[in-house]
Amino acid sequence: MDSGRAPYPVSKIDQFEAGVKYRTQGYSAFVTAFLAKTKEGAGFEVTSQTVKENAYKSQGIEAELAASFGDLRLTGGVTLTDAEITSGANTGKTPRRQAKVVYQVSPSYAIGPVEVGGSIIGTTKSYAQDDNVVELPAYTTVNLFANYEVARNLTASLGVNNLFNTLGYTEAEPQGALYVARAINGRSARVSLKYSF
């Protein structure tokens, strides 16, 4: 797959995937193995004032599971990635912002007009830049929700995102001798009333 058109930078990706799917009543599983080779077209990065033109290879496994036990439902997924830079001064290092493990688990329980649930979403550490000097720490967030069917087609909902106000960094860019980082949103709550027709 190519992205970009001359005279603009062209990136090339060769990707192969193979997987299996299993589904039965109340249970499903999807597992996919992947192998990818990527070559970036030369592009100028404003924040670091550098030209990026790297090649990468990555391999890994994605797994998704879902199961129902009466009124209890559980879904989850995990992606394991082994990625490496294959060109330039950072050959052999891990590409920036690429964690080895990303995961999520989402349980929910319904009883009568009430449904409660949540999700746990996390990532292992990654690196801010391709030189692997600055580390973005691992983090896990917890989200909760509750739905109540007030009447037919009318549902009241309460949701809390990032319940424990976890500080998680998604990227960091150098600006002089310092780094400027972007973090996930802090704790927030939402109340809504939905009518379907």
CA atoms within 13 A on the CB side of 81: 22
Q: What is the mean pLDDT of the chain?
A: 91
In this prediction, residue 42 carries a pLDDT of: 61
Where b means 16+ CB within 10 Å and e means fewer, 5-18 reads: eeeebeeeeeeeee
What values do phi and psi take at 87, rounded to 5?
A: -150, 160
pLDDT along the chain (197 residues), means of 10: 58 93 95 94 59 86 96 97 94 96 98 97 96 96 97 95 98 87 96 92
pLDDT score at 178: 86
pLDDT attached to residue 174: 86
Contact status, residue 59 vs residue 40, Cβ threshold 8 Å = no
Residues whose CB falls within 8 Å of the CB of residue 117, separated by 6 or more in sequence, listed in order: 73, 106, 107, 108, 109, 144, 145
Res 6: pLDDT? 55
Integer-rounded Cα Rg, in Å, for the chain is: 21
Q: Does the predicted model carry a pTM greater than 0.75?
A: yes
Q: What is the structure's pLDDT at 195?
A: 92
Q: What is the pLDDT of residue 59?
A: 97
